[in-house]
Homo-oligomer: A and B are copies of this chain.
Amino acid sequence: MSKIRLAMVGGGQGAFIGAVHRTAAWIDGQAEFVAGSFSSNLEKCQQTGQDLFLNPDRVYATYSEMMEAESSYPEDQRIDAVSIVTPNHLHAAPALEAMAHGFHVIVDKPMAFSVDEAIEMEKAAREHNVLLAVTHTYSGYPMIKEMKHRVENGDLGTIRKIYVEYPQGWLSTGLDLEGQKQASWRTDPSKSGAGGAVGDIGTHAAHLAEYVASSSITHVAAELGIHIEGRRLDDDAAALLRFGNGATGVLMATQVAAGEENTLKLRIYGEKGGFEWSHADPNSLLYKPLDAPLQILRTGNGYLCEAAANASRIPPGHPEGYLEAFANLYLEFFQAIRDHKAGTSMKYDFPDGVDGVHGLQLIDAMIRSSQSEQKWTKVERYTP
């Protein structure tokens, strides 16, 4: 056995999420990056390759060149998979090309620029028999897995209410209009797609709620807003929700909650109690049974389910964070790759192509709802 061999598309200097993907891949010693096409700026691309101690021969000016060249390496040297960490409008093309060459793909969220692109990607993965993963990071946290497990187990009884919120404040000023890189592409409809905040963080929030509840949002009553003169995409969204399991709820996702950092929070209530998880304290899960004291379940303890136990690396009281949660998605992806090689298969715990399509459908429904005078808008539901 050897380490998984990865290539990266995007993630050159000045990028944010590329470095996160790399750390997530490295942290458990299971994989190495051996190739990359990091930037359309060749110098930047080569510099990144050097920073990563790559063989210069495997640092490519374009992803197309990379797919071609890597295919020609012997099987025990060529890349296994490609991490795609470019802005949204550059997800589908490299992903489709990678899959066509038989490489597995792990792509940042939202999976694509549009619903149509997303569907094309999902179909391609099946056609070429490769794995397609989408990094909805937050489902990688151990206590989220515990929460999902206990909801599935019926600890709350019938689910009644689901509240998910994702307040950020970093777009409170016109950063995007001043050319700040992360802000600019995220508010540019030609790069981000039709959704701004609703795509960037709303999809995270929605995915987390649906993942934990094991149920999809079927209808939304949404309002999106823009709070900076000249900004072109929504920086703020809120919606009343209806879920397939009969629960109702509220989603809030905003990037103009000045002073907020990144405090995604999920609360689920059923007949018998509630759960609450906040990204501000990700190693704790609040369990609120009806008529008994609140309990704080904590990462690393013996009383957790197998999925939560496996998603944690260190003993109780040793905080784990965002990078470890991200790495858990990669670990599952790596296991799937190894099993794929071995010809075996199972259900893997990472968001896949169908989840990715659904994310785009949710963005679409939120936008349509916001423009509608009708209270409720149906969320389309893709099934392969």
Contact = CB atoms under 8 A, between A and B. Distances in A.
A169 B249 CA distance: 15
Nearest to A318: B322
Contact of A172 (B16, B20, B29, B271): B271
Q: Which of A20, A291, A372 has the most CB of B within 10 A?
A: A291
Q: Which of A20, A167, A254, A321 has the most CB of B within 10 A?
A: A321
A163 B263 CA distance: 15
A257 B161 contact: yes
B317 A319 contact: no
Interface string A205-237: 000000000000000010101010000000010
A298 interface: yes
Contact of A319 (B163, B167, B321): B321
Interface stretch (A61-69, A125-133, A279-287, A347-355): A279-287
B259 A172 contact: no
Interface in A269-326: 269-274, 279-283, 287-298, 300-303, 313-324
A177 interface: no
Report the copy number of this chain in the oligomer. 4
A143 to B, nearest CB: 12
A317 B262 contact: yes
A190 interface: no
Interface string A101-116: 0000000000000000
A236 to B, nearest CB: 7
Contacts of A346: none
B294 A27 contact: no
A218 B1 CA distance: 53
Q: Which of A270, A300, A301, A319 has the most CB of B within 10 A?
A: A319
Interface in A38-53: 50, 52-53
A19 B238 contact: no
Contacts of A318: 262, 321-322
Contact of A374 (B227, B254, B256, B373): B373
A295 B298 contact: no
Given A173-B290, A257-B269, A225 B248 contact: yes
A267 interface: yes
A380 interface: no
A339 interface: no
A258 B271 contact: yes
A251 to B, nearest CB: 9
A13 interface: no
Given A250-B250, A316-B261, A290 B236 contact: no
Closest 8 CB pairs of A and B: A259-B288, A261-B317, A262-B317, A319-B321, A318-B322, A293-B295, A261-B316, A259-B274
26 contacts: A16-B315, A161-B254, A169-B269, A172-B269, A221-B240, A221-B375, A223-B240, A238-B240, A239-B240, A240-B240, A257-B269, A258-B274, A259-B288, A261-B316, A262-B315, A281-B281, A291-B303, A293-B297, A294-B295, A294-B298, A296-B296, A313-B323, A314-B322, A319-B321, A319-B322, A373-B375
